[in-house]
Amino acid sequence: MTEQSIRLNGNGQSSSEQNKGSIAEYEEGALYVSDPSLRCYGGVATITPPFQPLKNTWTFWFDTPSSKIKQSAWGSSMRKIHTICTVEDFWSLHNSLHPPSKLIMGSDLYCFKHYIEPKWEDPICENGGKWTIISQRLKADGWWLRTLLAVLGEQFLHGDIICGVVINVRSKQEKISIWTKNAADEASQLSLGKQWKAFLGCVEQIGFIVHDDAKKFDRLAKIRYCI
């Protein structure tokens, strides 16, 4: 990140000011805390050295039930929310968002490496798959935060295979998934799954489904790996 990008963008507006203009399009009540005084949009303009850079740059995406109804193709209703590259930026954005338990039913919140779209068709994702943990609603908030901290903090031995993470908010439960590339790399996939369970203190069995199988068989897709 350059010193110029920390201060202002080319038109004289801070990055956070630009974000405030675009966020109005995102059904704020569905995603952001209701009290504007609590919002910190995490724009790079608010960060002054020394700051703590993340190893990778990450983009958050959001999808709501109302926008899914209008979509012409799967994934076309997903919208970029914000891109982060420092620890400070993450906490600023995280503190501005509702926790998963407060999101509208049917919502999906994604955090992916900035050059990867959260879609099966993305060239990096297409040969991969995902580990999924099913959580009760009250437990999901903590598990989601721990997952983000482990992924963004590069805590996994084979973190290079991670594409991103997603939480699906549903009526009775929530699903948290880690998307990875190279589904055929069994050793790396199993190592990652075991570490994830350990980070969360999860004792339930979790499974890994290959994206190709999910595309072909939908909910009937078989679990490739299990821990």
Architecture label for domain 110-227: 2-Layer Sandwich (3.30)
Token pair listed for 11: 């038109």
For residue 111, give the amino acid letter. Answer: C
**pLDDT tens across 160-175, in order?**
999 999 999 988 889 9
Task: Give the phi and the psi of residue 181 in degrees, each rounded to 5.
Answer: -100, 170
Give the distance between the most distant pair of CA atoms in the chain.
53
**pLDDT tens across 82-133, in order?**
999 999 999 999 999 999 999 988 999 999 999 999 999 999 999 999 999 9
Residue range(s) occupied by CATH 3.30.760.10 in the chain: 110-227
Task: Give the phi and the psi of residue 36 in degrees, each rounded to 5.
Answer: -55, -30
Q: What is the pTM of this model?
A: 0.79
Cβ atoms of 181 and 113 within 8 Å: the answer is: no
Taking the C-alpha atoms of residue 83 and residue 25, their distance in angstroms, rounded to an integer, is 17
